[in-house]
Amino acid sequence: RPAASADDSDDGSASPMQPESKTGRTLSLEVAPSQGAATRRLSKSTAGPDDFEESSPVWVHIYHTDPYTAWLNWAVLSYAEIPIYHAGVEVYGREWSFNYYDDTWDDPSVSGIVSCSPKSMPGYLYQESVCLGDTTCSEQDVDDILIDLHRNWPANSYHLTRRNCLTFSEEFASRLKVEKPFPNKLRGLGEATRKNPNTDGVVDYAWSWAVWYMQWKHQPPSPTPYSSCS
């Protein structure tokens, strides 16, 4: 995962979520053309101009994973048939997910929530999508949900099996009150480690070493001892 950057653009690439909009209250969510484009529908046949109900299809987009988790798939998890996926949730034409950054393990102020154009999360290989049905949450409702998630999902709280993009996606989908259940295939790793303490211990130990390596890699260089000639 790349280091956090303050220069993220909105060209379709992933970027850390901004907690406030120009109004100082809510997020600014762009609606991009996609299979999850939002719709507006009449709540009653006799509805007036202000009686429209907002809705949007909600999609879970599934990806192959990054180098760290790919190595764990090969070394630890393949024998148990519980490979790790990356996933993001699309609503109102924007995809949202949860990531860690190599250089923010000691900084709880950096949110792990990122957004991108649907099916385009940088660093991952798109695999498939699952529709969870519609949400009747308005865009304002979704903004409010994301602001709350932004505060409660810092990047340094990421854990490979206990708090990751899959657990975030399931929580986000639940709060969107979708019509269909979250895909079981994305629960496999978390459920397997909960049921098997040995697997959980091995994964946790391996992940702790991965985090240590990322912290070590981003340590500032030690100052050169000063010496003077007499």
Predicted pLDDT at 224: 67
Element (H, E) at 208: helix 197-217
* Strands in the chain per DSSP E: 15-16, 39-42, 52-64, 86-91, 94-98, 113-116, 125-135
For the chain, give the percent of residues with pLDDT over 90.
39
Instruction: Check residue 127 and give its pLDDT.
Output: 85
The highest-confidence range among 60-69, 135-144, 205-214, by mean pLDDT, is 135-144
pLDDT at residue 20 greater than cutoff 60? no
pLDDT digits (tens, 9 = 90+) for 66-114: 666 667 766 766 566 666 789 999 999 999 999 999 998 989 999 999 9
Decide which of 117 and 207 is more confident. Answer: 117
CA-to-CA separations, 154 to 101, 145, 201, 208, in angstroms, rounded: 10, 15, 23, 17
The residue-averaged pLDDT of 180-207 equals 76
Average pLDDT over residues 14-27: 38
| pLDDT on residue 158 | 95
Q: What is the pLDDT of residue 66?
A: 67
* Per-chain mean pLDDT for the chain: 76
Res 57 pLDDT > 90 = yes
Report for 16-25, 52-61, 112-121, 159-168: range of highest mean pLDDT: 112-121
State the pLDDT confidence band at 218, using cuts at 50, 70 and 90.
confident
Cα 8 to Cα 17, 40, 88, 154: the distances in Å are 10, 31, 18, 18
Structure confidence at residue 35 (pLDDT): 42
